[in-house]
Structure 1
């Protein structure tokens, strides 16, 4: 298998009894016991009533609907309805109510509400104070870097193979640290606003320049702005508090001990980013830089104003975005989209194709339409060695049990089931060779002004996902959390619930 095609993936859990998982089989079996008891006693009327009640319950448990069971959909719909009626899902910033808190305290909605940002001690020749992101709800720490990569559009196949090997080496090294829980790669693309070009022109344009030269430059700038697309790329490293706290105690404890451990991990990650992955620049963001990135995530149109303010003030503190204003003034989560400030967003996840995903195949998804912003998150949750061995053994046992039951029932195994079973049984050898077990997932988000029809932009997003060879799955009833994960590089993970 070449390193540029990712096809060595399977379902996280295999159903060992006709495709049912353990909890589904237990729920169906326990629900069937009362009617069987009534039948054993010869009471047919109560048995019939219990069977009539058991049948819809079993359908709710075992029937999948767009990635979730029917019972899961009912629970999610009920939670969303309660949040909408009570107003819990509606966010209004403290500053919008005239009660803004300290400038350094983030005021963010939804899953970002428990986020706090600390500054690490000065490090490196420039003395940068890297921003340490703490999520109290999930008990995790995250650090984000703005990276620059030359792209793979013009790369030769051999170079792409090296990038694939470099990504594998990064994930294996992250697992070997026994600290990193997840690595996230985020790319945001938006039509160019020309803010930097306007500033450069204002600084270098001579008053004595001929009018014709001025007109040519203005026309060239307008043409380039209409055709150009600006890309922002971020890498986020997540470390759970449970692992970090033990290592931090050996480094002195407290915030300084955690910062020391995290900076050591970041140095190792940066080595792989600049080496095997070919990043030409890796800059771990400071707190003011991260606040600006967060603000432009919620309001893409504010970027030009931030750039102009920084240019005019010379990067002074008065031109920086305070964390108290880094979030939206208001936000509301609907069933199929997320509303924030003057923008609407739709987020979908990608279902990986059976034939595999070629490196660079997501490029069409990142091409924004007129007036919209596209963002994609590719996350690599890393399973610890002990948990990986346990999951692999459980999956192999489920596969063996399923084969035995099918053999006794004389049922033919489908090609898809045989495909999943073969991949599960190959995992043990890969783990023995020192590779990491990763359950990768991806999210794609489109953001458009409220003056535009967000349903039309969502339809275009789904079309671009299908054109890239993937299947879109809209993140209904959880658009707020999906938007935060796909667009705001603060380390929101969909694999970790609240602690």
Structure 2
């Protein structure tokens, strides 16, 4: 027995024939009208030319090209070329130019440029000051936690079902509070660098070398090359419009917002440890978040950070923190099909859910690196609609489904199995909403990062192959690789569903 998730449908069910939306139907009608006017006047040559123009407009409007319409590609291409000519897609850090004045001020590229990090008030027995992530561009606040989960590989169907129900309960609870806008789960898997093992070996080895030491060295080299390290983060995003209203009851300013966010963190943590089965949850402080950000842009820097932490634990005076002015890349360039940052290149693709449903835990093969230095990561995001918007969307979808069914029946058009399934899912969604469930439109983004000495295009094809092997269809996020990288690699609450983040 396996746990299959197939309870999803299109965000909008069209009631017009052939699945057209309202604006598409308007454009097609507007392009066809001149043809009939020319025919009415007897201008046959003009009618023929106008008919060809109408067919071209219809193809450009209706036919999708790799997930977007031709019009969408044209607009995105013009914006991309304009940004490249104006120099907006080229980033050089202040540290690389020798212009750092404040080490605590974040200097990050692209969609992360509007991020400011605040330290919250002390909390818990340890007095940890959790990092509060304020995104001025998107007008949101976020907090990030590093979590440890036992995984699904050795779990039976009942345990997977309980964990899936725990995730559903987490989203429902976040929706009932009417504060959380999005919950993001981010996982990064990198080949094991052996930094901790090297430090442990240096501390515990005694006596001269011999055959036993040689055997241990060989085993360490083989096992390190075959091992991977996994980091998992969860980020909770709250819009300023909601947080500001709730913060007025606790005062004003950052401390009031921190108190509200701490309450949200406690609710999320209870659900993570309960139904989802997480064994450890650590809300990141500002230095810890800076390390996660830096290792996101430069995976090779992790070994040096581990060495510094080990030296500090031994009493050596060494700086173990990464200042926010240097937490980002020294330079970054956006290319149409990949993202270049420091000595690394990255390619990102989004996933399209299969019609037959997705197996719980099916994303695991995507995380397996295939070469030395390669890193895989993916983001699974759950944007949560407010109860008012969810009810309106459900009512609109059900009305469109009913009108579409009536029109097809009246026109004696055959209703396909796919359309019947979508209509049934829309009606089932409205029933669940009326019983208190939340509405979310999940999406996933996968990213592969390799050194610039390797051909990133080859590893992008390998990532697409891993996505297909997992049972999904991948779609390369061309012209938006920088935003996709920031969302799927750096755990700072960047989303693909907000205009400010794009």
The whole-number CA distance in structure 2 between the counterparts of 1:264 and 1:195 is 37
Give the corresponding residue for 2:320: 319
State the Cα distance separating 1:39 from its structure 2 match. 5.1
Secondary structure in 2 matching 1:95: coil
1:84: how far off? 1.9
User: In the alignment, is residue 20 of structure 1 matched against residue 15 of structure 2?
Assistant: no
- Aligned residue for 1:29? 29
Shift of 1:401: 1.9
Describe the superposition over 1:65-88 as per-residue Cα deviations: whole angstroms up to 9, x where unpaired. 111111101111111111222221
Deviation at 1:199, TM superposition (A): 1.6
Offset, 1:495 = 0.8
Aligned twin of 2:394: 392
Answering whether residue 246 of structure 2 is matched by residue 244 of structure 1, we say no
Of the candidates 439, 443, 446, which is equivalent to residue 444 of structure 1? Answer: 446
2:431 and 2:294 map into 1 onto residues whose CA distance is 45
**2:258 corresponds to 1:256:** no
Q: Which residue does 1:345 correspond to in 2?
A: 346
Give the Cα–Cα distance (whole angstroms) in 1 for the partners of residues 465 and 179 of structure 2. 39
Tell me the equivalent position of 1:135. Answer: 135
Select 2:409's aligned residue among 407, 410, 416.
407
- 1:30 is displaced (CA, Å) by 3.5
- Distance in 2, matches of 1:414 and 1:66, equals 24
Q: CA deviation at 1:374?
A: 0.2
Determine if contact 1:13/1:21 at 8 Å carries over to the other structure.
Answer: no
16-25 vs 439-448, which moves further? 16-25
- Contact 1:3 1:164 survives alignment (8 Å): no
Shift of 1:219: 2.4
With structure 1 as the length reference, what TM-score do the two structures score? 0.96
Q: How does 1:24-423 map to 2 (within 5 A)?
A: 24-37=24-37, 49-206=49-206, 208=207, 211-314=210-313, 318-371=319-372, 372-423=374-425
Q: 1:316 and 1:235, CA in 2 relative to 1: closer, same or farther beyond 3 A? A: farther
CA contact (8 A) 2:2 2:157 kept: no
Measured in 1, the distance between the counterparts of 2:421 and 2:352 equals: 16
Q: Report the Cα distance in structure 2 between the residues aligned to 1:27 and 1:107, rounded to whole angstroms.
A: 44
1:249/1:331 CA distance change after superposition, 3 Å:
same
Look up the SS of the partner of 1:457 in the other structure. helix
Structure 2: 5+ residue stretches without partners: none
Secondary structure of the corresponding residue to residue 375 of structure 1:
strand
Distance in 2 of aligned mates of 1:375 and 1:255: 32
**C-alpha distance in 2, partners of 1:317/1:33?**
75
Paired with 1:370 and 1:451, the residues of 2 have a C-alpha distance of: 13
- CA shift at 1:92, angstroms? 1.1
With 398-407 and 74-83 compared, the bigger mean Cα shift is at 398-407
In the aligned structure 2, how far is the partner of 1:410 from the partner of 1:389?
Answer: 31
> For 2:347, what is the secondary structure of its paired residue?
strand
> Are the counterparts in 2 of residues 236 and 491 from structure 1 also a CA contact under 8 Å?
yes
What is the rounded CA distance, in whole Å, between the counterparts of 2:426 and 2:48 in structure 1?
41
Equivalent in the alignment of 1:460: 462
1:7 matched residue in structure 2 = 6
Deviates more, 1:100-109 or 1:453-462: 100-109
Classify 1:317/1:71 alpha carbon distance in 2 versus 1 (closer, same or farther; 3 Å): farther
TM-score for the superposition, normalised by structure 2 = 0.95
Can you list the C-alpha shifts for 1:343-371, whole angstroms capped at 9, x where unaligned?
11111111111111111111111101112
The answer as to whether partners of 1:128 and 1:286 remain within 8 angstroms in 2 is: yes
- Give the Cα separation in 1 of the matches to 2:35 and 2:384: 44
Q: Secondary structure at the match of 1:383?
A: coil
Superposed CA offset, 1:407-451 (max 9, x none): 232211222122111111111111112111110101111111111
User: For 2:77, what is the secondary structure of its paired residue?
Assistant: helix
Q: Secondary structure at the match of 2:248?
A: helix
3-state DSSP of counterpart to 1:361: coil
Mean CA deviation greater in 361-370 or 313-322: 313-322
How many pairs are equivalent? 497
CA change 1:343–1:43 in 2 (3 A) is same
1:112, 1:210 → 2: CA distance?
Answer: 50
* Residues 317-351 of structure 1: CA deviation (Å, up to 9, x unaligned): 82211111111111111111111111111111111
Gaps of 5+ in 1: none
The match for 1:470 among 462, 466, 472 is: 472
Deviates more, 1:74-83 or 1:285-294: 74-83
Of stretches 183-192 and 14-23 in structure 1, the one that deviates more from structure 2 is 14-23
Cα deviation code 1:248-276 (max 9, x no counterpart): 11110110110000000000000000111
Name the SS of the counterpart of 1:106 in structure 2.
Answer: coil
What is the deviation of 1:44?
Answer: 5.7
Distance 1:316 1:232 in 2: 28
1:158: Cα distance to partner? Answer: 1.4
